[in-house]
Copies of this chain bind each other. A is one copy, B any other.
Amino acid sequence: MASIHDVAKEAGVSVATVSKVINDYPDVSEKTRKKVNSAIELLKYQPNVVARGLVKRRSWTVGVLLTVPFTNPFVAELLEGIKTALENSGYDLVRLSTRFDDPTYSFIKHCRSRNVDGVVVFGEGRENTSIQELVAAEIPTMFIDTDLFGKRAGYITTDNVNGVAMAVKHLYELGHRKIAYISGTLGPAVANLRLDGYKEGLRLCGIPYATIYLEVCDYSFDGGAKAARRLLALREQPTGIICASDMSAFGAIHEIEKHGFSVPEDISVVGFDNTYYAEVFKPSLTTVNQNIYTIGIRAIEYLIAMIENPSYTPPVVTEPSNLIVRQTTAPVNEMYSEAPAQP
């Protein structure tokens, strides 16, 4: 691979001059600029960004901290947005191979040793000390769904509260009054916010909040199924169930059908995420849409802005959510409603 010295020799100039034409400095005569450019052409020279990074203390690299599996549809779509935003930015994505099980491992040291210019974090809780160090070290960071921010750290998430509240309102308008909620594990911001949305939705509809209608699971298919089983065992079975993820909604539907009920005829179900399969699944799922792809794009845009402008104030952004009505919600079955059917 040709180096800047080879180009300098070929063009008959100094390496400083070659550097200047590579970096588009104005103080180079047209004549030598041409000489240098044809030498570059001839030798198929490509500047070594690693060497450049060493002196500029930059790497044109963005790290991702991602312990959630790539097979998680949220992660996949997020990465798709990130990738797209990065495509023509001059930055490349590096996935830092984390080893949180190793007590000597430090994420921030890893970032520094790789010299990443910024990082996007998804799926790590605020209790992770590596994350806190990251914020304290003022390395440009964008958090997705983790409610953490600082001088050089922004935060971006979906409008979780309104998302679930809309789901409640939707069921209410279909006549449902016994509306249950299958939450994700509480603690992380998104889980808490969605639960807030459930309560807020009930409040707006004038429905009292009843803890028997709250179940908690781990967002999974099996978790949703188990939670649904408990709800079905209630004397006052809910007629509508809102789930904190599409996956747990699929599990709930599966369980409901296993018990001989049908969706949406007997029980309506709403998911959260609007992953690709929500549309494919039969019956197709009514769900709260998150603009995950957009969140990925924005995260990178903000991150690059922070990197390239030290005084840029990192944003705290809530991306709107919206309800996608499909086939798993329907008017409440009068057989199950409190009030007797109108004649």
Query: Which residues of A does B touch, CB under 8 Å?
Result: 1, 44, 46-51, 53-54, 59, 61, 69-71, 73, 75-77, 79-80, 83, 86-99, 106, 109, 112-115, 221, 250, 254, 276-277, 280-282
Contacts and interface: CB of A to CB of B under 8 A. Distances in A.
Contact of A73 (B71, B92, B99): B71
A3 to B, nearest CB: 11
A202 to B, nearest CB: 30
A136 to B, nearest CB: 13
Copies in the complex: 2
B61 A71 contact: no
B48 A50 contact: no
Most buried by B among A71, A87, A94: A71
Contacts of A250: 280
A59 B50 contact: yes
Nearest to A1: B112
Nearest to A66: B83
Most buried by B among A83, A114, A115, A254: A114
A170 to B, nearest CB: 24
21 contacts: A44-B109, A46-B112, A46-B113, A47-B113, A48-B112, A49-B114, A50-B50, A50-B53, A50-B54, A70-B77, A70-B79, A70-B83, A71-B76, A75-B76, A83-B97, A87-B97, A89-B97, A92-B94, A92-B96, A95-B95, A277-B277
A90 B99 CA distance: 10
Contacts of A95: 83, 92-95
Contacts of A49: 113-114
A53 B98 CA distance: 20
Most buried by B among A73, A77, A96, A221: A73
